[in-house]
Structure 1
Amino acid sequence: MFESLTDRLGGALKSITGQAKLTEENIKGTVREVRMALLEADVALPVVKAFTDQVKERAIGSDVLQSLNPGQAFLKIVQDELQSVMGEANESLNLSAQPPVVVLMAGLQGAGKTTTVAKLAKYLAEREKKKVMVVSADVYRPAAIKQLETLAGEVNALFHPSSVEQKPIDIANAAIDAAKRAQADVLLVDTAGRLAVDEQMMAEIQALHAAINPTETLFVVDAMTGQDAANTAKAFNDALPLTGVVLTKADGDARGGAALSVRHITGKPIKFMGMGEKTDALEPFHPDRVASRILDMGDILTLIEEAERKIDKSKADKLAKKIQKGKGFDLEDFLDQIQQMKNMGGLTGMLDKLPGMGNLGAMGKQTDAAEKQFKQMESIIFSMTPDERRFPDKINGSRKKRIANGSGTQIQDINRLLKQHKQMQKMMKKVTAKGGMKKMMRAMGGMGGPGGMGGPGGGMPPGGMPPMMR
């Protein structure tokens, strides 16, 4: 996420952060480089100007020039101003209104609106413990209604049926009545999108908004459209009383222009960002954490929260006890570790949130190769019998041939997997002996550096990451 912006800002800030003394001249030179980095990241010009003016004004002040570590003080100013541009803190949905809380979703066609409705329904059900109903008021695209019905089934949300013969206002009013009868806490209303902003579209959604008076009106926008995302958001904000923005496809946005521009241009907070195609790939937008990621300081808090939600603690405890009893770490356990890491967004998703991983773009080929290797490992283990998984030493030449044929791999791939498992087995014995795992995690928690694991919000709790990544 935002790899090119991270690289460019990193290059601009590298020369200044290590300096023991700063002058007005080298501050101005660095600010010029920061300005170019932001413009190349497709950040809107008014945002770039306001940002760099504020950084320069604060940096030339006595706080930086008289600081014991002026380079770090300058970096802190850049981080603070990045955070300020995107909003001081996450602004959550207003769920305290009389139920059903109506949330109207607006946006252009292709921004991922319908998928976002399903993601938000899952988020509200799982993390906010709300009963959610969804409805499609898109009468121009029959496939949209069917798509939402399918997604509602996947995320276990209530679905209110609608048809292209109905008027959007009638659909929404009927859905509100149905949500009341079903005692739903939240009703998410999907609306029609267009390929571009037009008068008919705006008039229709304005009338719908006036008729149902939603508690929240969220604008869904594709982050990869960069500065255009901010401009489109402004057009919708001028027509509707938006309460927030959802950035979709943020995982594919290497530039970061939309994330840095939308709040400043519209005055409305970014409340969520979509980080992938899966229905659980929606994160609350925390400006401080995103600023930290952009400056390659990692996002340990989000990583910990993901671990808390996605790692099966009972399995982790069971595995630790099993190893402590000397029963060994078999291939079933190995497979389980791979799958838990996949649940955390895979290797790339995890590295992206660790400090010092801003060169992930340059590492792309290596991480892609590692992801492929994990998939291959899964295929190999799935091709084994339960007995072979529990007792890998039984796997002889003829068994290796059968496993290779079943998994579409070569015998050397089987040998490599068995060797890696042996190494993993030794490591697991070492770290679990005499509280070694806890010592290791404490050591990780003490890692220093700005925004590192020992920085603000840092520290990785025991059990916070799968053992294969510890």
Structure 2
Amino acid sequence: MFQNLSERLDGVMKHLRGQGRLTEENIQDSLREVRMALLEADVALPVVREFIRDVKERALGEEVKKSLTPGQAFVKIVKDELVRVMGEANDALDLNVRPPAVVMVAGLQGAGKTTSIAKLARYLREREKKKVLVVSCDVYRPAAIDQLETLAAEVEVEFFPSNSGQKPKDIGKAALEHARKQFHDVVLVDTAGRLHVDEAMMDEVGELHRVIEPAETLFVVDSMTGQDAVNTAKAFSDALPLTGVILTKTDGDARGGAALSIRHITGKPIKFLGTGEKTKALEPFHPDRVASRILGMGDMLSLVEEVEQGVDKAQADKLAKKLKKGKGFDLEDFRDQMSQLGKMGGIGSLMEKMPGMGGMADKVQGQVGDKDVNRLVAIINSMTPAERRRPDIISGSRKRRIATGSGTQVQDVNKLLKQFKQMQKMMKQVKKKGGMQRMMKQLGGGGGGGFPPGGGMPPGGGLPPGGGFPR
């Protein structure tokens, strides 16, 4: 997300940082570039106008003139304004009501409502420790109810059954009654979508809202529709008392205009970002962290949170002790490291949050994507325990058997073994004194973004022993 905007702004900021002092002329030139970058990112015109006006006002003020590093002072102003436009701080769900707290989810068909319900259910169960019930009031879309039932089982929350012959308000009433009897903390209500905003849809969703009286009414919108996303959000905001927005498919949106426009146009905060297809791919929206990502400063807080959530600490400790005892890093350890990488949102998600590495995310994804990681895990799973512990015994005939068993080619097995040897060398370096510095040099000359030859990203995401990032 924001890749195009980040690249454009990065060029402007680099130019400004090189200036000894800022004048009205070079500020004007820079703001012209910033304006073009925002418009190309599909940010709403009223938002662009106000943004440029406020940045200019502050940049020409005493704040920059008195600064010893005027270029950096200008970058700070841009960041502050990005944060202000997107809503200052994270606006969390307000569930402080008498249980069960009802969260109603609305939006157009295809925006990702049902998947977002499942992601939100998982988030509330795992992070907030809530007992969650999900129910579908979408009696029009074929298989919508079945889809939610399947997803509910996947994220391990209770599903309340409904059918296409019922009225949405009756389903909502019955689900609430069930939730009260079973002492659920939260009820997530999926609603019917349409291909466009229409009066009948708004009337129906409005009636359901009056019956279930939700604590939160969230609008789900596809970020990739850009300006249309903002217009649709405005239409729903006028018809329903929305409390927030879930912005979906942000992993496929290189522009990010919707994220920068929605708060200003609707007055409603973005509460969550959908960052992928998996049910774990949902993150709270923090304007300050997103602004840092846009300006290439990374998002270490979110990265640390992902590592905390994704890393299996017992498995990490086991690997650390094994290496400490002098036992070698084998293919089973390699597989475990790659599996943990998948749990943390994949390579692209991690790279995007590392300072100075946001622009590398797509390039790395192109070299070693998450599908490649899954393929490598499948190859290792096709090996015998002896082969995983001692890869040197893998002969030509064994490679053919492993390739057949994993549905891959012999050259894929060869590539895996080559990458594994590189990872083994890195692990030996980390064990030695000063090994982390040597490993970082191998990763690209002290953070320059390069990768060792023969397969792009170091397998396992370059995670050092212990399963996570160096302390």
TM > 0.5: yes
Shift of 1:426: 3.0
Match of 1:398? 397
Shift of 1:462: 8.8
Match of 1:7? 7
**1:102 alignment partner, SS class:** strand
Shift of 1:437: 5.9
Q: From the superposition, tell whether residues 23 and 427 of structure 1 become closer, same or farther in structure 2 (CA, over 3 Å).
A: same
**1:329 alignment partner, SS class:** coil
Q: How does 1:198-347 map to 2 (within 5 A)?
A: 198-347=198-347
The TM-score with structure 1 as length reference comes to: 0.90
Distance across 2 between alignment mates of 1:188 and 1:137: 10
Q: How does 1:146-185 map to 2 (within 5 A)?
A: 146-185=146-185
**2:217 alignment partner, SS class:** strand
**2:221 alignment partner, SS class:** strand
Shift of 1:409: 4.9
Q: From the superposition, tell whether residues 431 and 292 of structure 1 become closer, same or farther in structure 2 (CA, over 3 Å).
A: same
Q: How does 1:341-356 map to 2 (within 5 A)?
A: 341-356=341-356
Match of 1:106? 106
Contact 1:42 1:226 (8 Å CA) reproduced? yes
Distance across 2 between alignment mates of 1:132 and 1:280: 16
Distance across 2 between alignment mates of 1:191 and 1:174: 15
The TM-score with structure 2 as length reference comes to: 0.90
* 1:273-300 residue CA offsets vs partner (Å, 9 max, x unmatched): 1001111111000001111111111111
Match of 2:454? none
Q: How does 1:301-450 map to 2 (within 5 A)?
A: 301-360=301-360, 364=363, 366-371=364-369, 373-409=372-408, 411=410, 413-433=412-432
Distance across 1 between alignment mates of 2:447 and 2:77: 19
Unaligned stretches of 5+ residues in structure 1 = 450-460
Shift of 1:429: 2.7
**1:133 alignment partner, SS class:** strand
Shift of 1:119: 0.7
Match of 1:187? 187
Q: Which amino acid aligns with 2:134?
A: V
Shift of 1:196: 1.0
Distance across 1 between alignment mates of 2:447 and 2:49: 33
Distance across 2 between alignment mates of 1:206 and 1:464: 51
Distance across 2 between alignment mates of 1:410 and 1:198: 52
Shift of 1:410: 5.1
Q: From the superposition, tell whether residues 52 and 465 of structure 1 become closer, same or farther in structure 2 (CA, over 3 Å).
A: farther
Distance across 2 between alignment mates of 1:68 and 1:212: 57
Distance across 2 between alignment mates of 1:245 and 1:61: 35
Distance across 2 between alignment mates of 1:426 and 1:394: 19
* 1:433-455 residue CA offsets vs partner (Å, 9 max, x unmatched): 458569989xx9xx999xxxxxx
Contact 2:83 2:287 (8 Å CA) reproduced? yes
Q: From the superposition, tell whether residues 434 and 355 of structure 1 become closer, same or farther in structure 2 (CA, over 3 Å).
A: closer
Match of 1:39? 39
Q: From the superposition, tell whether residues 349 and 101 of structure 1 become closer, same or farther in structure 2 (CA, over 3 Å).
A: same
Distance across 2 between alignment mates of 1:336 and 1:438: 24
Contact 1:90 1:284 (8 Å CA) reproduced? yes
Query: What value does the CA root-mean-square deviation take over the aligned residues?
Result: 2.5
Q: Which amino acid aligns with 1:169?
A: K
Alignment length (residue pairs): 452
Distance across 2 between alignment mates of 1:218 and 1:423: 47
**1:97 alignment partner, SS class:** coil
Contact 1:130 1:185 (8 Å CA) reproduced? yes
Shift of 1:13: 2.8
Contact 2:16 2:71 (8 Å CA) reproduced? yes
Distance across 2 between alignment mates of 1:25 and 1:52: 15
Bigger mean CA offset, 251-260 vs 373-382: 373-382
Distance across 2 between alignment mates of 1:319 and 1:257: 43
Unaligned stretches of 5+ residues in structure 2 = 449-462
Shift of 1:227: 1.4
**1:352 alignment partner, SS class:** helix
Q: From the superposition, tell whether residues 13 and 155 of structure 1 become closer, same or farther in structure 2 (CA, over 3 Å).
A: same
Shift of 1:136: 1.1
* 1:66-116 residue CA offsets vs partner (Å, 9 max, x unmatched): 210000000000001001100111011112110000111111111101111
Contact 2:105 2:188 (8 Å CA) reproduced? yes
Distance across 1 between alignment mates of 2:436 and 2:33: 44
Q: From the superposition, tell whether residues 145 and 317 of structure 1 become closer, same or farther in structure 2 (CA, over 3 Å).
A: same
Shift of 1:180: 0.2
Contact 1:341 1:466 (8 Å CA) reproduced? no
Contact 1:430 1:436 (8 Å CA) reproduced? yes
Bigger mean CA offset, 298-307 vs 140-149: 140-149
**2:143 alignment partner, SS class:** helix
Distance across 2 between alignment mates of 1:21 and 1:304: 36
* 1:141-187 residue CA offsets vs partner (Å, 9 max, x unmatched): 24111111111111111111112222211111111101001100001
Distance across 1 between alignment mates of 2:7 and 2:359: 7
Shift of 1:380: 2.9
Contact 2:312 2:467 (8 Å CA) reproduced? no
